[in-house]
Structure 1
Amino acid sequence: MSLQDKIRYFEFTHTGQVRDHNEDAVYGDLDLGLVLLADGMGGYNAGEVAAELAIKTVTDMVRAGVERETRSDIDETSGLMRQSIVLRNAVIRANKIIWQTAQTQPQCRGMGTTMVACLFHDDRVSIAHVGDSRVYRLRKNRFEQLTLDHSLMQELVDRGYFSQQEAMRSANRNYVTRALGVEPAVEVEIQEDTVKKDDIYMLCSDGLSDMVEEEDIHLTLSTFSANLKTGGDQLIQLANTNGGRDNISVCLAQVIESFAESHGIVSRLRGWFS
């Protein structure tokens, strides 16, 4: 089911004010309901290679998986929707390909990438992430971070050593504990969320979240919710005005209509009890 007329989508990426090239990658395919963002790292241009490999591999794997299984059944072993399983397996596959490329191509040694991915389906979204790129949701006037960074600083916050405000000011906040391609295997964090009309999902690299306070992001998205292209441009501008110390990437997906599947599990349950 194409979501071209169900979701309004915009993507933005900028080199920033300090880096000499952009190692971020963004991608959206509303025919698949897929939105991806990757923040590459390691060696000149190698981070860009890792990010592009992640985007291509996950897109290809999700496309193949969705074509094989279009129903929104729940996987009995994990309790996850099958689309979530497809997405998680796609990210795991991307890790393997990036790792193998880094081992066999000297110019790519040490490369890796963070990734966040959203797969929209049946009035739901499956979210996969590895690293410190993030997914936020604006619902009505509530702005909420849906992912937790895989970073040393986040682990210290979780253990009570630092507050979130102290973590934002730390020079070590960008030390990630998980990324694609740096180890032969990776644990992909997966979650599911029910979407509602007018929800705005924002995927971003740390080039935005490190440079712009959450309340300023919230205010910008709320102000420009009817014109997300302008809102995204404003976010990039804010990050650059505040220093632009890293590449800056943002994906914005706004739900404008329901995309419930008639053969989804909720519909079938309703049928059984009607």
Structure 2
Amino acid sequence: MTSAETVLHDALTVAACSDAGIVRAHNEDAVFVDADFGIGVLADGMGGYNAGEVASSMATTLLATSFSRLLRSAVETPAVLEHPRQIMSDEVRGTNAAIFRASQSSASCAGMGTTLVFAWVLGRELHLAHVGDSRAYLWRGGNLRRLTKDHSLLQEQIDEGLISPDAARHAEHRNLVTRALGVESDVLVDTATHALEPDDIVLLCSDGLNDMLEDGEIGELLGQDRYSLNARALHLIERANALGGRDNISVVLLRLDAQSAAQPAAKRWWHGFLNQVK
């Protein structure tokens, strides 16, 4: 199991943890967090021998690299930050194209793909991009709310009234996704923006977590404010493993601390970062 926690200028705290689970021999999930840029990325790979691991690793590495480069360019041209959701969609689509090319050029990687959920905290706003069935949640004041809608066969059946959400938790085909990075040369990326409040916690997770834990239990574990954010991430994974750990389990947490949220909107933390790298 790997984990890390970083605090950004008393403004944003991030934590990440990934574990193979009890059943799987390999961990095909990948996570990336960067407190300086306020981003969290989580990918759940799929494919043949080791191919899923390659796809998820490519997704997180390529996004981390390209996004870092793009944000550093904002030192000279701050206007690039004016359309964050478009930025995220473009970056994800570029990453998709790279994974697709790799899958076409190597027999060992043929058919590989990965889900993706990508969060960017910019000032008091959360910007999200996602593809597949990895999820984003918002924990606020003791309540947990899901922010993403799965791109899966099961979700389509729920939407059509063919199966209830309760029955869906035990369906055999619950992990069949209808959209993933690397499967085709282009991909449709869902994006959204949500306002953040002091002490909000954003959770990104692979289905190895939400398949094992009900949303209510996830919310209870996130609400353990006597523990650090990193400890809460570890507790989520430990609980999923205690319930069977049938799949790889990954968690990314981002918390907007009260000091940051209390600042005027013009005092977004990335202004300070841009000044640092000039």
- Please, what TM-score do these two structures have when normalized by structure 2? 0.87
Q: Which residue of 2 aligns with 1:187?
A: 188
Q: Deviations over 1:181-211 (max 9, x none)?
A: 0111100000001111100000000000101
Gaps of 5+ in 2: 1-6, 269-278
Alpha-carbon separation, structure 1, partners of 2:267 and 2:204: 29
Range moving further from structure 2, 213-222 or 65-74: 65-74
CA–CA separation in structure 1 for the residues paired with 2:247 and 2:231: 21
The residue aligned with 2:179 is 178
The Cα of 1:61 is off from its aligned counterpart by: 2.1
Question: Structure 1 residues 260 and 160, CA, compared in 2 at 3 Å: closer, same or farther?
Answer: farther
Equivalent of 2:58, from 19, 43, 53?
53
Partner in structure 2 of residue 247 of structure 1: 248
Q: Please name the residue that 1:262 is paired with.
A: 266
Structure 1 gaps of 5+ residues are 76-80, 265-274
Moved more, 15-24 or 54-63: 54-63
Report the CA distance between 1:261 and its aligned residue.
5.2
Per-residue CA deviations over 1:95-134 (Å, capped at 9, x if unaligned) read 0000000000111111100000001112111100000000
User: What's 1:230 paired with?
Assistant: 231
Identify the residue that residue 209 of structure 2 maps to in structure 1. 208
Checking the alignment, whether the CA contact within 8 Å between 1:201 and 1:253 is kept in structure 2 is: yes
Please give the per-residue CA displacement for 1:238-261, whole angstroms capped at 9, x wherever unaligned.
111111111000011111122665
Matched ranges for 1:31-180 at <5 A: 31-69=36-74, 82-180=83-181
Query: Is 1:217 matched up with 2:218?
Result: yes
> Is contact 2:115-2:180 (8 Å) kept?
yes
Distance 1:83 1:216, change over 3 A: same
Q: Hey, what does 2:272 align to over in structure 1?
A: none
- Contact preservation (8 Å) 1:66, 1:86: no
Sequence identity of aligned pairs in percent?
39
Q: Aligned partners of 1:20, 1:59: CA distance in 2, in Å?
A: 26
- Give secondary structure in 2 for the equivalent of 1:120: strand
Paired amino acid for 1:177: T
The CA distance in 2 between the partners of 1:260 and 1:185, in whole Å, is 39
| Counterpart-to-counterpart distance in 2, 1:159 and 1:252 | 32
Q: Match of 1:10? A: 15
Aligned length: 258
The CA deviation at 1:234 is 1.3
1:25 paired with 2:25, answer no
Aligned to 1:20, what secondary structure does the other structure show?
coil
Worse-matched range after superposition: 88-97 or 226-235: 226-235
User: Would the alpha carbon gap of residues 251 and 84 (structure 1) be closer, same or farther in structure 2, given more than 3 Å must change?
Assistant: same
Q: Is the 8 A contact 2:142 2:220 kept in 1?
A: no
Q: Which moved more, 1:201-210 or 1:159-168?
A: 159-168
Distance in 1 (alpha carbons) for counterparts of 2:267 and 2:199: 24
TM-score, with length taken from structure 1: 0.88
Q: Where does residue 274 of structure 2 map in the other structure?
A: none
User: 2:95 and 2:79 mapped to 1: Cα distance?
Assistant: 24
Instruction: Identify the range of structure 1 (60-69 vs 181-190) with the bigger mean alpha-carbon deviation.
Output: 60-69
Q: Is the 8 A contact 1:122 1:260 kept in 2?
A: no
**For 1:169, what is the secondary structure of its paired residue?**
coil
- Structure 1 distance, partners of 2:193, 2:226, is 23
Moved more, 147-156 or 160-169: 160-169
Over 3 Å counting, the alpha-carbon distance change for 1:225 and 1:151 in structure 2 is farther
Please report how far the alpha carbon of residue 69 of structure 1 lies from its aligned counterpart in structure 2 after TM superposition: 3.9
Which residue identity lines up with residue 23 of structure 1 in the other structure?
A: E
Using the alignment, how far apart are the partners of 1:99 and 1:46 within structure 2?
Answer: 12
